[in-house]
A and B are shown apart, each in its own frame.
Chain A
């Protein structure tokens, strides 16, 4: 499987990268870890004429735990998992990242790529919605932030403009004692979720998001409110009312709906057990 021909660019600064992207327009794609884009290029479902590899841009790397938690777009899943300060500040991130793909993919696949790509099967988008994260975007007009809960429009369609690059993710610190869980049903290691649920419960309320059960991640405000009021069954019912799974080789929609309910209930139970 040989991808179409392209020209390879490796800018060393963010300004160079956004400049290239503006200049090359639709014929260019940015390359993070490439573990979504390269398979698509091998299938010739994507055939960019230019690839702008973000790997050499130091500003896109690194994890900083300060007033917020900042995760650079080019941080790999393996780097996220290995970061003890991050795991102490927000353990849900490590728990979920360990359920993504397989070890080799996690060494290369990036958090930024996972959230920016808009693939409804990716785990990080729902997770970031659950955590109330914000994304930093840089374009020719400067930088801006978009809430993860406002970012996803439909499959592969997001609030990111074509000439913008997602540079990092800002995650607010969960309140002390917040219970959390990420539950994912998959057919095998490396598969996308048949259904997955992210839950936090703490003194600031509760939050519920579902993965791969619609053309975008589903953060359910109603489910979070029900859960904060102590109504787990109501939270599950509210979340199931908002998902819209389709039939595919992971099963018919009714099956996915069933699995979604089970995953969410398990995530709620585990998050409650972990509350401090």
Chain B
């Protein structure tokens, strides 16, 4: 089958490549571009470990063909660092509040939480839980994930400073 020409912006950088149409976005990111933050967990659109941001939507990249993201702007957990390369607010709050144990779900959690806070900068705990319900943590560390996101929201609103 002929390959297709794919062009997208990934974490602010324009990329171009030839890809088979059946290539899933997660495989394109990981194997073609070497961006291994988004993880392959269940491969059945349940776990959310592969979550990336595509044109302002949280998307399970195991359930999107590369052609569907052609021309899009894609952000992965790698793109959520500060311009100087230090941890971004959400990443820092996950560290500070022990929002990760094994860390496998973390890139998906943080990328999803990023979009959630863009849409709702002042969520209730219940809204965070509902908004994060497409991401599974098999360490079951949900309490601290929610705490980390609530803390990040407060920092982003300027109500609280991140601890050093």
Q: List the interface of chain A (C-beta within 8 A of B).
A: 1-8, 10, 31, 34-35, 38-39, 41-42, 51, 53, 55, 78, 101-105, 107-108, 189-190
Contact = CB atoms under 8 A, between A and B. Distances in A.
A5 B65 CA distance: 12
Given A78-B57, A190-B133, 16 more contacts: A2-B27, A10-B70, A34-B63, A34-B64, A34-B68, A35-B45, A38-B45, A38-B63, A101-B134, A103-B130, A103-B134, A105-B45, A105-B63, A105-B134, A108-B57, A108-B59
Q: What 5 A-B pairs have minimum CB-CB distances, sorted nearest first? A: A102-B134, A8-B21, A107-B57, A5-B1, A189-B133
B156 to A, nearest CB: 19
B4 interface: yes
A8 B21 CA distance: 6
Contacts of A55: 68
B78 interface: no
Contacts, number: 86
B163 interface: no
Contacts of A38: 24, 45, 63-65
26 contacts: A2-B24, A4-B22, A5-B22, A6-B21, A6-B22, A7-B21, A8-B4, A8-B21, A8-B67, A31-B65, A34-B64, A38-B24, A39-B44, A53-B67, A102-B48, A102-B134, A103-B112, A103-B130, A103-B132, A103-B133, A104-B58, A104-B112, A104-B134, A105-B60, A105-B63, A108-B57
Interface in B15-60: 20-22, 24, 27, 43-46, 48, 51, 57-60
A189 B134 contact: yes
A34 B25 CA distance: 13
B137 to A, nearest CB: 13
Interface in B49-95: 51, 57-60, 63-65, 67-68, 70
A38 B61 CA distance: 11
A109 to B, nearest CB: 9
A83 to B, nearest CB: 14
A215 B53 CA distance: 36
Contacts of B57: 78, 107-108
A103 B134 CA distance: 6
A104 B114 CA distance: 13
Interface in B120-135: 130-134
A34 B4 CA distance: 19
Contacts of B64: 34, 38, 108
B46 A190 contact: yes
B96 to A, nearest CB: 25
Contacts of A6: 1, 21-22
A104 B60 contact: yes
B2 interface: yes
Nearest to B58: A104
> Which has the most chain B C-beta neighbours within 10 Å: A7, A38, A103?
A103
Interface string B129-148: 01111100000000000000
A104 B48 contact: yes
Given A34-B64, A34-B68, A107 B58 contact: yes
A103 B46 contact: no
